[in-house]
Amino acid sequence: MKEVVVVVGAGFIGQAIARRVGAGKHVLLANVTKESAVKAAEALANAGFEVSAAAVDISSRESVKALVNKAQELGTVTGLIHAAGVSPSQAPIETILKVDLYGTALVLELFGEIIARGGSGVVISSQSGHRLPALTQEQNQALATVPTEDLLKLDILQPGKVTDTLHAYQLSKRGNSLRVMAEAVRWGVRGARINTISPGIVMTPLARDELTGPRGAGYRRMIETCAVGRAGTPDEIGNLAAFLMGPDGGFITGSDILMDGGVTAAHWFGAQTGKNTQ
């Protein structure tokens, strides 16, 4: 049967990864609207990839299950790229938790039930998960392991406990990395691997929304004061994802790779104040 790579979230990062791991396989691109998925699929098809498009609402179990079924109809699922989500400037607290936290857990659960032996996946999380202060061990354990349908019932996620959309986003992204670590055990039983990448500011439409939104000044300051002194590109994320999903990354699973140009280092240990000109 044909090998299938499923891309959930067919934006620039998802497409960049698909270009690196999808050759010779069938790429199933899924986005929140069929129109946007078709547009992304056309770009890949014009570059020589075998590709299909689908709509998916990752906050809906029925919708994600339908995507799983479609993928299985196309062949054997050996790859999962999960790059869907909303940012703090794009949605209210409830939507961020439902999409970024619950939706990611749902994708991991359902695709983890059918991923093929030797398969691999990558979840695109965020540096924001690394900027959240430490949680208790009990909270970490709950975010990682409670049944998907009980996830949003956790006490730390209730109204009044989540202070604003950025806090919701940070909790969601911390939850993503914890969930992937726990899921790596279950995926390992099937002989498959799953990892997380936590990018910093990568120039995509989502990042532009943030740069022009209410937190824009803070985002620009992060770029200016980090060690690298620039934003990242989807291709750079794609290169790392291809390594993690390929044979060279075969000993890596349940890991979260922070890839932010030094933004988190500057956050915790002091931003640079000047460039070395020597």
Q: Where are the beta strands (DSSP E) in 66-144?
A: 76-82, 120-124
The residue behind tokens 């803070």 is 218
Is 2 among the residues known to form the active site? Answer: no
Which among 194, 271, 204 is positioned nearest to 237, based on CA atoms?
Answer: 204
Q: How many other CB atoms sit within 10 Å of the CB of residue 1?
A: 10
Segment 253-259 shows an average pLDDT of: 98
pLDDT bucket at 25, cuts 50 / 70 / 90: very high
Which range is least confidently modeled, 30-39, 75-84, 203-212, 216-225? 203-212
Task: Provide Rg for the chain, Cα atoms.
Answer: 18
Q: How many other CB atoms sit within 10 Å of the CB of residue 135?
A: 16
pLDDT at 228: 92
CA–CA separation, 78 and 25 (whole Å): 9
pLDDT at 124: 98
Paired strand residues for 50: 26
Per-residue pLDDT reduced to its tens digit, 199-230: 999 988 777 777 887 778 888 888 888 899 99
Question: Is residue 274's pLDDT more than 70?
Answer: no
Question: Is residue 24's pLDDT more than 50?
Answer: yes
Are 15 and 28 in contact by the 8 Å Cβ rule? The answer is no
pLDDT bucket at 35, cuts 50 / 70 / 90: very high
Which range is least confidently modeled, 1-10, 49-58, 63-72, 202-211? 202-211
Question: Is residue 271's pLDDT more than 90?
Answer: no
CA–CA separation, 130 and 127 (whole Å): 5
Which residues make Cβ contacts (< 8 Å) with residue 84, sequence separation at least 6? 8, 9, 14, 31, 32, 56, 58, 99, 103, 107
Environment class of 73 (CB within 10 Å of its CB; exposed 0-12, middle 13-18, buried 19+): exposed
Segment 132-147 shows an average pLDDT of: 97
Tokens of 98: 């439902």
Amino acid at 244: L
CA–CA separation, 274 and 28 (whole Å): 46
pTM recorded for the entire structure: 0.94
Phi, psi at 159, each rounded to 5°: -55, 135
Among 39, 173, 219, 275, the active-site one is 173
Is 169 among the residues known to form the active site? Answer: yes
Better pLDDT: 216 or 79: 79
pLDDT bucket at 272, cuts 50 / 70 / 90: low
pLDDT at 169: 96
The residue behind tokens 């291709």 is 235
Segment 37-47 shows an average pLDDT of: 96
Question: Is residue 119's pLDDT more than 90?
Answer: yes
Which residues make Cβ contacts (< 8 Å) with residue 216, sequence separation at least 6? 210
Which range is least confidently modeled, 57-61, 207-211, 249-253? 207-211
Helix/strand/coil percentages in the chain, nearest 5: 50, 15, 30
Segment 191-195 shows an average pLDDT of: 98
Q: At what angle do helices 165-189 and 104-112 cross, to 10 degrees?
A: 10
Among 25, 98, 169, 219, the active-site one is 169
pLDDT at 155: 97
What is the β-pairing status of strands 50-55 and 120-124? unpaired
